[in-house]
Amino acid sequence: MSISKPSNFLNKRVTTKRLQEMKDAGISISCLTAYDYTIAKILDNAGIDVILVGDSLGNVIQGHDTTISVSLEDTVYHSKAVVKGADRALVIADMPFMSYQVSTKEAIRNAGILMKETGCSAVKLEGGEMVADTISQLTKIGIPVMGHLGLTPQSINQFGSYKTRGKDKKEAEEIKKDALLLQESGVFAIVLEKIPATLGKEITESLDIPTIGIGAGPFCDGQILVYTDMLGLTVDFNPRFVRKYANLNETINDSVSKYIEDIRNGEFPNEEESY
Ligand code: KIV
């Protein structure tokens, strides 16, 4: 079976430098999450620029309501598999809750573990002012960091809900200030999650580095979605920022039902499928 690649498919491995070149050239950056080898390989073959081993694995893989319980070991396990499947895409590992907040020293140790044990090319962590010094230290020692502002799911217990952030002027100003601070601290890009499109535009225009939006409107330099959402594997999560490009839940359900039926009817395996 031949697999089609986008016409602008570039064979060169994507680097953080390449993402900056894309922003400067006005080329939008495509990003998706992945948590295993098989999916990473499919996304990479299709030409995705960035694969994030998101701590959304807490929801998608482990079935939790939040990302809070994801451990460093979980992230190492999934990142290793994703790195094996990604020949071209930049692989970024999400630092789990409490793996970088206690002290800069611990953050450096844990980011180091992620880089050394998994082969990922960068880490992502959530927050603004509170993590700025840690980010400065990480980037100084050669660990590329992606920031994450707006709705930061690791703070769900403080926010109390997954509603849009930065709708009021005060919070919008804080997010804008944090974005500039993260840029000064050395992040190579910032994820902006669930904020008004106008705020996404303002922040994108105020920064030299790329912004990657998820529910942050069309003006960001790139977009990211959780792959299970955009392929319709997830059925009970339908925020308006998710566009469903497939209905794999239905496809898998239909295929498995047919498989069960074929076994019950004695139609699988047939002669050709037997030795
Ligand atoms: O964990 C994750 O998947 C993320 C993306 C949604 C940006 O942080």
Crossing angle for the helix pair 129-140 and 169-185, nearest 10 degrees?
10
Atom of ligand 1 nearest to the CA of 33: 3
Q: Long-range contacts made by residues 154-162, C-beta under 8 angstroms, separation at least 24?
A: 154/55, 154/67, 154/68, 154/97, 154/126, 155/126, 155/127, 156/66, 156/67, 156/68, 157/66, 157/68, 162/194, 162/239
209 lies in the same domain as 91: yes
* Angle subtended at Cα 124 by Cα 122 and Cα 128, rounded to the nearest 5 degrees: 135
Q: Residue 5: what pLDDT?
A: 53
Catalytic residue, chosen from 106, 117, 184, 193, is: 193
User: For the chain, which residues score pLDDT lower than 50?
Assistant: 7, 9
Which of 190-202 are b and which e, b meaning 16 or more Cβ less than 10 Å from the residue's Cβ?
bbbbbbbeebbbb
Can you read off the two tokens belonging to residue 49?
Answer: 């620029």
Q: Are residues 93 and 184 in the same domain?
A: yes
- Give the pLDDT confidence of 69-118 residue by residue, as tens digits: 999 999 999 999 999 999 999 999 999 999 999 999 999 999 999 999 99
pLDDT computed for residue 9 by the predictor: 45
For residue 126, how far is its CA from the centre of ligand 1 (angstroms)?
A: 10
1 in a domain, yes or no? no
Q: Which atom of ligand 1 is nearest to the CA of 191?
A: 7
| 56 C-alpha to ligand 1 centroid (Å) | 6
Q: Is residue 2 part of a domain?
A: no
- Shared domain for 196 and 261, answered yes or no, is no
230 is a domain residue: yes
Query: Domain check: are 156 and 38 in the same one?
Result: yes
Identity (one letter) of the amino acid at 234?
Answer: T
Can you read off the two tokens belonging to residue 10? 């570039």
Angle at 5 between CA 239 and CA 220, to 5 degrees: 40
How many Cβ atoms from other residues are within 10 Å of residue 152's Cβ? 20
User: What's residue 46's pLDDT?
Assistant: 98
- Residue closest via CA to ligand 1's atom 8 equals 54
For 55-92, b/e burial (b = at least 16 CB within 10 A) is bbbbbbeeeeeebbebebebbbbbbbbbbebbebbbbb
**What pLDDT does 12 receive?**
87
Nearest CA to ligand 1 atom 2: 54
Q: Which residues line ligand 1 (CB under 6 A)?
A: 33, 52, 54-56, 94, 191, 214, 224, 226
Q: How far is the CA of 141 from the centre of ligand 1 (A)?
A: 25
Q: What's the confidence (pLDDT) of residue 4?
A: 53
- 64 and 101: one domain? yes
The domain that holds 228 is classified in CATH as 3.20.20.60
Please choose, from the candidates 147, 227, 229, the residue with its C-alpha nearest in 3D space to the C-alpha of residue 191: 147
Note whether residue 37 is domain-resident.
yes
Nearest alpha carbon, ligand 1 atom 3: 54
Round the CA-based radius of gyration of the chain to a whole number and report it.
20
Active-site annotation holds for 193: yes
β-sheet bridge partners, residue 31: 50, 224
Q: In the chain, where does DSSP find H-type helix?
A: 16-25, 37-46, 57-60, 72-85, 104-118, 129-140, 156-159, 169-185, 197-206, 227-230, 248-264
Residue 108 lies in a domain: yes
Q: Tokens standing for 59?
A: 């929801």
Average pLDDT, the chain: 96
Q: How far is the CA of 263 from the centre of ligand 1 (A)?
A: 39
List of residues 6+ apart from 9 with CB closer than 8 A: 47
Is residue 261 situated within a structural domain?
yes
Coil, strand or helix: which one is 51?
strand
| Long-range own/partner contacts, residues 75-79 (CB < 8 A, 24 or more apart) | 75/114, 75/118, 76/113, 76/114, 76/117, 76/118, 78/35, 78/36, 78/53, 79/53, 79/114, 79/118, 79/119, 79/120
Structural domains counted in the chain = 2
The ligand 1 atom at the shortest distance from the C-alpha of residue 54 is 1
Length of the chain: 275
Boundaries of domain holding 270: 248-275
